[in-house]
Amino acid sequence: MAISLLADHVYSSVTDIDPQTLADAGIRLLLADLDNTLVPYGVLEPEPSVREWNQGLRTAGVTLFLLSNSRKPGRPETFAQKLDIPWIGHAGKPKAGGFVRAMERMGCTPEETAIVGDQIFTDILGGNNAGVTTLLVEPIRLAGNPGRYVRYAVEWPFRALARQRSRR
């Protein structure tokens, strides 16, 4: 199996992803990374815009599901509860296991599932490994961890290629 680091679609933020467009494409389950995708690192409350977007997903028949690699005790669970969505922490992305567990739990196939995240080497690679539609967003905030700057610099060429592909 070929390894792909390119996302199917690229957006500035999660709220730029139209819920009805997902539903029209047959997506019933949207897996979402937490940190720097839904909120900045360390933020405990969903922004009103994310709450409204989640409601739009529900209205369109798409379930938002938190799929996080966070190892902070209780962080994914607490955040997911505030949005009233299912979750898996310690997901082990980019391995496909967390993706498969989420799809099995929600009764969805890879063709009915998408992942949205800010990192190519976890979210996008993992989604491609699991055979789901991959949606890349720009990280919300890089400040606070020098390692993030390095990681995103390494990802830059793949982001640029995915942006080009997404425009087609």
Q: Are 80 and 66 in contact (CB under 8 A)?
A: yes
Q: 3-state secondary structure string, the chain?
A: CCCCCCCCEEECCHHHCCHHHHHHCCCCEEEECCECCCECCCCCCCCHHHHHHHHHHHHHCCEEEEECCCCCCCHHHHHHHHHCCCEECCCCCCCCHHHHHHHHHHCCCHHHEEEEECCHHHHHHHHHHHCCEEEEECCCCCCCCHHHHHHHHHHHHHHHHHHHHHHC
Number of alpha carbons in the 13 Å side-chain half-sphere of residue 48? 0
CA–CA distance, 117 with 34 (Å, rounded to integer): 8
Report residue 168's pLDDT band, with 50, 70 and 90 as the boundaries.
low
Tell me the whole-structure pTM to 2 decimals: 0.92
72-102, pLDDT tens digit by residue?
878 999 999 999 999 999 999 999 999 999 9
Give the residue-averaged pLDDT of 105-130: 97
Listed range (39-48, 100-109, 130-139) with the worst mean pLDDT: 39-48
How is the chain split into domains, by residue range? 9-167
Task: Name the token pair of 81.
Answer: 């509860």
How high does pLDDT run on average in the chain? 92
123-145, pLDDT tens digit by residue?
999 999 999 999 999 999 876 66
Fold of 9-167: Rossmann fold (3.40.50)
Q: What is the pLDDT of residue 16?
A: 98
* 70 phi, psi to nearest 5 deg: -55, 135
Which residues face 32 on adjacent strands?
66, 116
- pLDDT at residue 1 above 60? no
